A and B are shown apart, each in its own frame.
Chain A
Amino acid sequence: MGSLKPVGPDQASDQSAFGFVATRTDWLINWGRKNSLWPMPLGLSCCGIELMAMLGPKFDLARFGAEAARFTPRQCDLLVIAGTLTWKMAQAARTIYDQMPDPKWVIAMGVCSSSGGMYDSYAVVQGVDSILPVDVYVPGCPPRPDAVIDAILKLQKKIEREDPLGRLLGSAPPIGSESGSGKLQFQPNFGHHKSGLDKHAHDPKARQAIGDPAPRRTEVKP
């Protein structure tokens, strides 16, 4: 479906002669939403620095209408999780997400928030999609501001395909607190990293607790 266009016998003539334009409502709503994203910057580590550069004059996110970063989630509709999310911080991140009014979108910026990244650790959430739905993932450690701008453009494409009226009238699935593309289930990477080199898990009880009772390494004799 196209853009705003004048209606009348002669469409190329002066629009003011007709005084109105016609368009599809869902197109108009999506057009408004995608071009006025208000990001909530959740800068948790070095990605936050790149996020600040992106909002600044050099990369100039204002070109895409998303420069109005607010530090209260009540005024935002785009949550940018920029950096390493720990399990201790996860409660705060989820609270911020819940405080944002619908409709809302989430960008996982950087490998840490996308998958845990290099922090394959007990303290770090292995991908923020364990706790909230993510729309766009941005790789990089940290990603350049260009990459995040690209993510915002991709998110705009995604918003274009939404069906806001259908949701309102019930013909499209409703926005639930868990809508989105994230897996929303904690999936530790046991399969890939529990090897003979894992020198920490040599205690039978600890192995039992993580569901891997088979010894991978000879016990150290006192």
Chain B
Amino acid sequence: MSEQLTAPRFAAALEGLAHRVVAHPDGAAIEVEQAALHDVLRALRDRAGFAMCTFVTAIDHYPREPRFQLHHQLLSLEHRDRVRVQCTLSGASAPTCSDLWPGANWMERECFDMFGIHFTGHPDLRRLLMPEGYEHHPLRKEFPHHGIEPDKLYRDWDRKRREGWTETP
């Protein structure tokens, strides 16, 4: 994959955009700044044939700062090629790519649910897995794996619906 990344079509596609190619044991990745992320993704889709966004997720490097690194896995059916775009976020927000790939919509919702990363421009940024009203982001490193009061939402619901009930024998 690293040879493919140096192929002319990548150079042409990413011309004029700040990026860096980093090597990984499983291939290579394109590392970009947060400001250039959306432009690089658009260029890879339009000019390098990456028609599919297969995965959007993040890595929490807590307690290192900046802690979040956003990963986009792209797939080109045309060139039978995959590439990873990784971006270190300065805070906990990032530009959405659901306008480029509609399929990224729910993946970004999951990423928001699990890591609390706000995707600006996302059409419907709600929790995907955890219940609405949940206050934490479980895949953040400071989150204990037993959770923080995991029964809180249930107990609140139970207490509320029991108001005015009388126990019948």
Do A and B bind?
A: yes
* Chain B residue, CB-CB nearest to A188: B146
Do A121 and B142 have beta carbons less than 8 Å apart? Answer: no
A200 contacts which chain B residues (CB < 8 A)?
Answer: 141, 143-145
Do A206 and B65 have beta carbons less than 8 Å apart? Answer: no
A91 contacts which chain B residues (CB < 8 A)?
Answer: 154, 157-158
Contact residue among B141, B144, B154 (Cβ-Cβ distance under 8 Å from A90): B154
Do A206 and B142 have beta carbons less than 8 Å apart? Answer: yes
What CA separation (Å) do A90 and B130 show in the bound complex?
A: 13
Do A88 and B131 have beta carbons less than 8 Å apart? Answer: yes
A157 contacts which chain B residues (CB < 8 A)?
Answer: none
Q: Does B153 contact A (CB under 8 A)?
A: yes
What CA separation (Å) do A194 and B131 show in the bound complex?
A: 26
Q: Does B25 contact A (CB under 8 A)?
A: no
Contact residue among A88, A94, A121, A193 (Cβ-Cβ distance under 8 Å from B147): A121
Interface string of B143-162 (1 = CB under 8 A from A): 11111111101100110000
What CA separation (Å) do A91 and B157 show in the bound complex?
A: 8
Do B63 and A186 have beta carbons less than 8 Å apart? Answer: no
Known: A87-B131, A177-B167. A210 touches B146 (CB 8 A): yes
Contact residue among B64, B138, B144, B154 (Cβ-Cβ distance under 8 Å from A201): B144
Q: Does B16 contact A (CB under 8 A)?
A: no
Do B158 and A219 have beta carbons less than 8 Å apart? Answer: no
Do A123 and B147 have beta carbons less than 8 Å apart? Answer: yes
> Which residues of A does B touch, CB under 8 Å?
87-88, 90-91, 94, 120-123, 125, 130-131, 174-177, 186, 188-190, 193-194, 198, 200-203, 205-207, 209-210, 219-220, 222
* Chain A residue, CB-CB nearest to B150: A122
Do B145 and A94 have beta carbons less than 8 Å apart? Answer: no
> Can you show 18 pairs from A to B with CB atoms below 8 A apart?
A87-B150, A87-B151, A91-B157, A121-B147, A122-B145, A122-B148, A125-B151, A130-B151, A131-B154, A190-B146, A201-B145, A202-B142, A203-B141, A206-B144, A210-B146, A210-B148, A219-B63, A222-B65
Do B146 and A121 have beta carbons less than 8 Å apart? Answer: yes
Min Cβ gap B11→A in Å is 36
A198 contacts which chain B residues (CB < 8 A)?
Answer: 144-145
Min Cβ gap B67→A in Å is 10
Do B157 and A122 have beta carbons less than 8 Å apart? Answer: no
What CA separation (Å) do A129 and B43 show in the bound complex?
A: 55
Contact residue among B149, B151, B158, B167 (Cβ-Cβ distance under 8 Å from A176): B167
What CA separation (Å) do A220 and B60 show in the bound complex?
A: 14
Contact residue among B131, B142, B153, B157 (Cβ-Cβ distance under 8 Å from A205): B142
B146 contacts which chain A residues (CB < 8 A)?
Answer: 120-122, 188-190, 193-194, 201, 210
Min Cβ gap B150→A in Å is 5
Do A209 and B154 have beta carbons less than 8 Å apart? Answer: no
Interface string of B109-150 (1 = CB under 8 A from A): 000000000000000000000110000001001111111111
What CA separation (Å) do A20 and B120 show in the bound complex?
A: 80
Do A207 and B64 have beta carbons less than 8 Å apart? Answer: no
Do A207 and B154 have beta carbons less than 8 Å apart? Answer: no
Min Cβ gap A94→B in Å is 7
What CA separation (Å) do A206 and B143 show in the bound complex?
A: 6
A90 contacts which chain B residues (CB < 8 A)?
Answer: 151, 154
